[in-house]
């Protein structure tokens, strides 16, 4: 046997630091285990919590099987495309390119575009409907299903594509990796000192409960319906956005820049009157396209207000910065960061202490259903419409929250998540290293109201319906996780 503490006997006594027993995580590892894991010597491979999880899985009443087992395994193929040097270009000339960090967004939008001149077969980068995607680099183990929303999307080689043997294995495998059991086991296979990775072969020997097809089918049906709800909600968002653009006679932003304004707004220099400086000397604040959008809205909207207007919004909240005190699950408020604002069920949930943060959480940090959230630090202008499953959770101070009026909350969300509103919000950023905006900047963002109140109400209702579907998708996934935890793995 090789002990994790055996090295202590070879160290001078003066160099040994006594630690509280509860802070020490250690275990003994058989030499056969080291050999079976490819002679890996990293402590994370034999991590204590991972070992306990494996024991729980091995003790389940169904028995276990390796994912790659020729007869009972559930993976047909696990791979990722070869690495390549990316050539980025403009949206007009390139192919939409999705980053691994966007994979778990409920409605990912491409942030970059790769040129057709890139030396790779772009068709090999496209993900296939019915596959499972798994992040393999940096953040390990985030997982999603390729549904209608992501079908044929181009992802980098940092995402492992997994093809299940049978259709019913897709939802079962997704739920397993999404559960605390699978999500704990995956990182134990990582390697790398700075940027951590896993490889497809690390998945092959992972063992899963060998449940009957009846249970697999029940779990898969729940996940299939969950992703169908997500896809439908995204389609409703697209429908509402298209109605808004048509009502305001707005073409795609790229076309507006290139045609309607004869390209003069693509130049790198422009004149600003001293009376228009508004106390800002940063050129990004005065980009001419912002003035052009505002002018266009004043011509085609029935009325142009701002987010801070009492007709639009009841309250805008930007919490102050604070030192966080985290506690264990079940001992505090659910808390997550701005990077997860686009996810349905955030991966990075933590828990804030009741006793240390109760007042701040109640007054500033708590979010409620149908609030609108806007990221205000780092990546600026990401917008979320709070679904019911987030109600009562707490979010970071790097998110501006506002409470819209009930008859405009869906309409306001559709406008703010559009490319035009994002352009208006981004122009207000300040900061040389980490960009920021303040709640006064959000309050000044213009909101066009329509002359046709029926269309405006229809847009509002479509957004609300989409938000309800997302809550329905969350409930279906939680039911699948409950079955995994209580009927599959628990002995």
Which residues make Cβ contacts (< 8 Å) with residue 121, sequence separation at least 6? none
Q: Which residue's entry shows tokens 């047909």?
A: 76
Q: How many CB atoms lie within 10 A of CB 120?
A: 16
CA distances to 390, 442, 447 from 309, rounded to whole Å, are 26, 11, 9
Identify the pLDDT of residue 339. Answer: 85
Identify the pLDDT of residue 5. Answer: 43
Extended beta strands in 242-347, E state: 303-306, 313-317, 332-336
Which residues make Cβ contacts (< 8 Å) with residue 7, sequence separation at least 6? none
Q: Please give the average per-residue pLDDT across 170-179, as a whole number.
A: 95
Helices 409-416 and 453-483 pack at an angle, to 10 degrees, of 90
- The DSSP code for 328 is -
| Residue 13: pLDDT over 60 | no
- 371 vs 356, more confident: 371
| Residue 67: pLDDT over 80 | yes
How many CA atoms does the CB half-sphere of 316 hold within 13 Å? 18
Q: Which two tokens stand for residue 223?
A: 């996940």
Q: Which two tokens stand for residue 33?
A: 């285990």
Confidence of residue 9 (pLDDT cuts 50, 70, 90): very low
Confidence of residue 268 (pLDDT cuts 50, 70, 90): low
Which residues make Cβ contacts (< 8 Å) with residue 54, sequence separation at least 6? 185, 207
Side-by-side strand order, sheet with 132-135: 75-79, 159-164, 132-135, 143-145
Do the beta carbons of residue 163 and residue 76 sit within 8 Å? yes
Q: Give the integer Cα–Cα distance in Å for 49 and 89.
A: 44
DSSP 38-50: TS---GGGG-HHH
Q: Give the integer Cα–Cα distance in Å for 395 and 336.
A: 5
| Residue 358: pLDDT over 90 | no
Q: Which domains does the chain have, with CATH numbers?
A: 2-46 (no CATH), 64-232+473-489 (3.90.220.20), 301-449 (3.90.220.20)
**Which one, of 398, 435, 434, lies nearest residue 425 by Cα?**
435
Percentage above 70 pLDDT, the chain:
86
DSSP 412-464: HHHHHTSHHHHHHHHTT-B-SSS-B--HHHHHTSEEEE-S-HHHHHHHHHHHH
Confidence of residue 11 (pLDDT cuts 50, 70, 90): very low
Do the beta carbons of residue 397 and residue 319 sit within 8 Å? yes
Confidence of residue 273 (pLDDT cuts 50, 70, 90): confident
Q: How many CB atoms lie within 10 A of CB 377?
A: 17
Identify the pLDDT of residue 279. Answer: 83
Q: Give the integer Cα–Cα distance in Å for 372 and 314.
A: 12
Q: Give the integer Cα–Cα distance in Å for 378 and 341.
A: 13
Determine which of 22-31, 111-120, 436-445 has the lowest per-residue pLDDT on average: 22-31
Read off the pLDDT of residues 196-229 as tens digits, 9 standing for 90 and up: 778 888 888 888 999 999 999 999 999 999 999 9
Read off the pLDDT of residues 454-467 as tens digits, 9 standing for 90 and up: 999 999 999 999 99
Q: Give the integer Cα–Cα distance in Å for 133 and 200.
A: 11
CB burial readout 453-477, b (16+ within 10 A) else e: eebbebbbebbbbbbbbbbbbbebb
Q: Which two tokens stand for residue 388?
A: 């019911």
Q: Give the integer Cα–Cα distance in Å for 341 and 386.
A: 9
């Amino acid at each position: 046997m090789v002990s994790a503490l055996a090295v202590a006997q070879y160290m001078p006594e003066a160099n040994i630091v006594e630690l509280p027993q509860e802070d020490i995580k250690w275990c003994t590892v058989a030499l056969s285990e080291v050999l079976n894991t490819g002679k890996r010597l990293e402590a994370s491979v034999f991590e204590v919590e991972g070992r306990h999880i494996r024991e729980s899985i091995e003790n389940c009443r169904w028995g276990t099987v390796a994912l790659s087992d020729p007869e009972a395994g559930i993976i047909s193929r696990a791979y990722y495309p070869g690495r390549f040097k990316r050539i980025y270009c403009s949206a007009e000339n390139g192919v939409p390119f999705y980053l691994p960090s966007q994979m778990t967004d409920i409605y990912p939008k491409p942030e970059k575009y790769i040129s057709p001149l890139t030396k790779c077969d772009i068709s090999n980068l496209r993900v296939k409907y019915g596959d499972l995607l798994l992040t393999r680099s940096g953040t390990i183990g985030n997982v999603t299903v390729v549904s209608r929303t992501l079908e044929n999307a181009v992802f980098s080689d940092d995402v492992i594509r997994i093809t299940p043997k049978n259709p019913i294995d897709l939802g079962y495998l997704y739920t397993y990796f999404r559960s605390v059991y699978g999500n704990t086991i995956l990182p134990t296979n990582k390697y790398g000192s700075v940027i951590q990775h896993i490889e497809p072969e690390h998945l092959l020997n992972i063992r899963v409960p060998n449940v009957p097809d009846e249970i697999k089918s029940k779990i898969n049906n729940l996940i299939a319906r969950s992703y169908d709800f997500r896809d439908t909600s995204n389609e409703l968002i697209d429908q509402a956005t298209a109605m808004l653009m048509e009502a305001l006679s707005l073409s795609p932003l790229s076309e507006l820049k290139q045609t309607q304004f004869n390209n003069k707004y693509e130049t790198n220099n422009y004149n600003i009157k001293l009376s228009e400086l508004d106390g800002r000397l940063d050129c990004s604040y005065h980009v001419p396209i912002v003035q052009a959008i505002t002018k266009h809205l004043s011509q085609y909207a029935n009325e142009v207000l701002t987010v801070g207007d009492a007709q639009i919004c009841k309250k805008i909240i930007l919490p102050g910065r604070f030192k966080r005190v985290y506690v264990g699950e079940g001992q505090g408020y659910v808390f997550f960061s701005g990077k997860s604002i686009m996810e349905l069920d955030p991966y990075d949930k933590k828990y804030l202490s009741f006793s240390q943060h109760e007042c701040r959480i109640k007054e500033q940090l708590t979010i409620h259903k149908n609030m609108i959230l806007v990221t205000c630090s780092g990546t600026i202008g990401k917008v979320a419409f709070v679904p019911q499953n987030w109600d009562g959770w707490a979010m970071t101070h790097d998110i501006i929250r506002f409470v819209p009026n009930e008859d405009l909350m869906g309409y306001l969300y559709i406008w703010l998540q559009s490319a035009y509103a994002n352009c208006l919000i981004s122009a207000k950023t300040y900061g040389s290293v980490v960009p920021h905006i303040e709640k006064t900047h959000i309050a000044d963002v213009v909101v066009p109201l329509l002359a046709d109140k029926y269309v405006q109400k229809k847009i509002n209702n479509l957004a609300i319906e989409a938000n309800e579907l997302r809550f329905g998708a969350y409930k279906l996934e939680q039911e699948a996780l409950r079955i995994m935890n209580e009927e599959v793995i628990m002995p």
